[in-house]
Structure 1
Amino acid sequence: MAKRLAIVLTEGYADWECALLMATARGDCGAQTVVLTPGGADVTSLGGLSVRSAGSVEDASPQDFDVLVLCGGTIWQSGAAPDLSAPIGRFADAGRPVAAICDATLELARLGLLDGRAHTGNYPGQLKDVVPAYRGEAHYRNQPQAVRGGAVVTASGAAPVTFAREVLEAIGLGSAELFDYLAMYGDEHRQATA
């Protein structure tokens, strides 16, 4: 049976953050990617890309999906951020992976999921600045790559390549060849040679 990824997009989601994950999961791994949104509403990205929702994230069940992926975007730092404690709690309680990139890591911090495990975010201090109840400073990894701490994957908005890799690995997809392919997307950051 094909793996199923619940991709959570919100109004103003960051187009680039989950695109590589979604394309690789579908195109290279034969997985299903299902876009869920708060309330099941259609959403528009920061870049103006409109997406039709396949359903409400509030109804997402770990029996139906192998991972819950939260895409970043402007909403997570605003008062309009959705309360996703119920679906995230269901996935965490079931031991299913939960992944968040960029400002979506703030939702995991609000729920205390980062307090006792390795994680990262956009920059040191952001989680505590935006979520005063956050207590995971000792477990924060100040690195450019995504971090997997148990069944939780986190990444800065500048790390969609390693985010894709960690999510796919967390649900048992991928191979050395696939991860080499994903690494190619980061090659532009290597020093040019003459």
Structure 2
Amino acid sequence: MPRIVIALQNDYADWEPALLMAATRYWLDCDVVTASPDGKPVISMGGLKVTPDIGFDAIDAEQFDALIIPGGYAWEKGGAHDFTALATAFRDKGKVLGGICAAASALAAAGVLDDVAHTGNSLASHKKYSAYRGETRYVDQPQAMRDGIIVTAAGTAPDTFTVEVLKALGLYGPEAEAELAAFAAEHRR
């Protein structure tokens, strides 16, 4: 059973990991663990209060198959966690690493996007971080992008983010495709 850890912090964008969490828990029988900086409850942008399973200090890349970081306003408010050590550990262990919205820019700041194709809210949001060296690998597109084990997306792409994370985990088969197709149907014209 794949184990996925979702790294939450105050003001996280609750819609960004929601479909992924439901799909992996309900349809694919994965173990989904939530974490916060200190293991204490966090409140999302939408006011959803979550009591996490663990604190960030208990996240060990050896014990999980994926680290997923949703975005949110913590970065704009200057109170976001520095995910450099966690992101680097998951990448170095060959584990799936996903960042959506401002968290994709956090991965840019950590240097884990420098050598992989990636996307996010905008190139400008990544370039706010002086350590970012992946500008030539940035792809400006509305859908999520996967390059090997790294998945990035704009905050407006939780559907394709879910699909790409599942593909990275080797979980995107006919059952997942059938269940998730309905969520993207409204975007077809």
State the AA in 2 paired with 1:99: G
Residue matched to 1:132:
130
State the AA in 1 paired with 2:138: Y
Q: Deviations over 1:42-76 (max 9, x none)?
A: 10011100000111123211221110000111012
Residue matched to 2:148:
150
| Alpha-carbon distance change, 49 to 40 in structure 1, aligned in 2, over 3 angstroms | same
Residue matched to 1:74:
73
Distance in 2 between residues matched to 1:11 and 1:47, nearest whole Å: 11
Distance in 2 between residues matched to 1:186 and 1:103, nearest whole Å: 22
State the SS of the aligned residue for 1:35: strand
Residue matched to 1:162:
160
Q: Deviations over 1:21-60 (max 9, x none)?
A: 0000011100011001112121001110000011112321
Distance in 2 between residues matched to 1:120 and 1:181, nearest whole Å: 25
Residue matched to 1:49:
48
| Alpha-carbon distance change, 61 to 20 in structure 1, aligned in 2, over 3 angstroms | same
Contact 2:87 2:112 (C-alpha < 8 Å) held by counterparts: no
Where in structure 2 are there 5+ consecutive unaligned residues?
A: none
Q: TM-score, normalised on structure 1?
A: 0.92
Q: Deviations over 1:149-172 (max 9, x none)?
A: 121110111110111111111112
Matched, 1:89 2:92: no
Residue matched to 1:110:
109
Distance in 2 between residues matched to 1:148 and 1:139, nearest whole Å: 12
Aligned positions of 1:3-42 closer than 5 A: 3-42=2-41
Using the aligned pairs only, state the percent identity: 43
Contact 1:58 1:87 (C-alpha < 8 Å) held by counterparts: no
Q: Deviations over 1:66-114 (max 9, x none)?
A: 1000011101233211122222222111111110000111211111111
Offset, 1:181? 2.6
Contact 1:29 1:174 (C-alpha < 8 Å) held by counterparts: no
Q: Deviations over 1:163-184 (max 9, x none)?
A: 1111111112131342243132
State the SS of the aligned residue for 1:157: coil
State the SS of the aligned residue for 1:6: strand
Cα RMSD of the aligned pairs, angstroms, is 1.3
Distance in 2 between residues matched to 1:144 and 1:54, nearest whole Å: 32
State the AA in 2 paired with 1:70: I
Distance in 2 between residues matched to 1:74 and 1:88, nearest whole Å: 19
Contact 1:4 1:66 (C-alpha < 8 Å) held by counterparts: yes
